[in-house]
Amino acid sequence: MDEELLTIGAFAARARLSAKALRLYDRLGLLSPARVDEASGYRYYRADQAERARLVALLRQLDMPLARIAEVVGTDGGEAADLLAAYWADVETRVAGQRTLAEYLRGRLSGRSSEMYGKFVVETVEVPEQVVITETRHTLADELPAWIGASLGRLEEAARECGGVTAAPFVLYHAEVSMESDGPAESCVPVADEKAARDWAARHGRAWETKVRTEPAGRLAYTRITKAQVAHPQILAAFEAVEQWMTEQGLEMAGPCREVYFADWEASGPEDPVCDVAFPVNSAETSSCSYGTLPNAHLRRVSRRGAPVSGGHGGPPCSNEVESLGERGGPKG
């Protein structure tokens, strides 16, 4: 049987790889020798393992994570091709986001920040006291969109037991969410019945880190953005535009900022307003308007498959709930 096996040197030459690479693949569990001599520790390979060795090397050139390489090489035919296609679609999405981020950073570094901020209209709004049910999680930016969708879905379902949803759901950040910082982030849904909400939280609090609280009334500085602008890094410019406006108005941040999602995400087009980027601020003599309560029948579930990655702006990304908003020019009254 030994005559049918190749030494690591002979196999490396056939696979057009180095012996060092083959030892690495063995250590990573991607390509194990057909036999290892117990006395000498020498590795021996079958000739037909060369194709797998080359495939592993090529997949590593795509910066594919080891776990996904193992999936691809462990699958036959069309399914392996589908796994590769899915991975590459993820890569292209990430690169597209990085390209947009690079453009955004070029604008900042070239001194065009004021030009970017100028397209955002910033206003203030009074926020009434409300009862909210919340779910909190420490999460990095790449996991944030999926968690937002799942958590808001759970909270909106729970709201049925709490007298119904009374205003738009929102996401607040107690600290930055990025690839280096994990928040935490908090999904929030305003509800009608505080007692029912506290009963619900007592039953489910440990499972999903849920809680109920009454948020005090306050004032927000906010700007309204479209679905296209929710994407990272465009949303960063919105946060920074509000912060710059606050500085110009002599206002100070009175709590962490938020994103309020008041529209049906799936039904909205790229240019439709869907989100308010907002900061709680201290009182000042500025023009303002008040939120009105939107009837429950008009509150749609916000599907968040395309949820934003929003951490990384100048301040910690919000801690009050808001009512649903109307058209640009002021919240619905």
Distance CA 329, CA 333 (A): 11
pLDDT tens string for the chain (333 positions)? 445 788 888 888 888 888 888 888 888 888 888 888 888 888 899 888 888 888 888 998 999 888 899 889 888 878 999 999 999 988 887 787 778 778 778 877 887 766 677 789 999 999 999 999 999 999 988 888 889 889 999 999 999 999 999 999 999 999 988 888 999 999 999 999 999 999 988 887 666 688 999 988 899 999 999 888 887 777 888 999 999 999 999 999 998 889 999 998 888 888 899 999 999 998 655 444 433 333 332 233 343 333 433 333 333 333 333 333 333 333 332
Q: Could you give the CA distance from residue 162 to residue 254 in angstroms, rounded to a whole number?
A: 29
Q: Which of 78, 34, 38, 65 is nearest to 52 (CA)?
A: 34
Backbone angles phi, psi at 78, to 5 degrees: -60, -30
Which residues share a beta bridge with 261?
275
Alpha helices in 35-190 (DSSP H): 50-61, 66-73, 77-109, 113-117, 144-158
The CA-CA-CA angle for residues 214, 290, 169, to 5°, reads: 50
Whole-angstrom Cα distance, residue 312 to residue 309? Answer: 9
Q: Residue 35: is it exposed, middle or buried by C-beta count within 10 angstroms (0-12/13-18/19+)?
A: middle
CATH architecture of 116-298: Alpha-Beta Barrel (3.20)
Range 2-74: architecture per CATH: Orthogonal Bundle (1.10)
Q: How far apart, in Å, do the first and last CA atoms of the chain sit?
A: 84
Q: Which residues contact 210 (CB under 8 A, 6 or more apart)?
A: 133, 134, 135, 136, 155, 158, 200, 201, 204
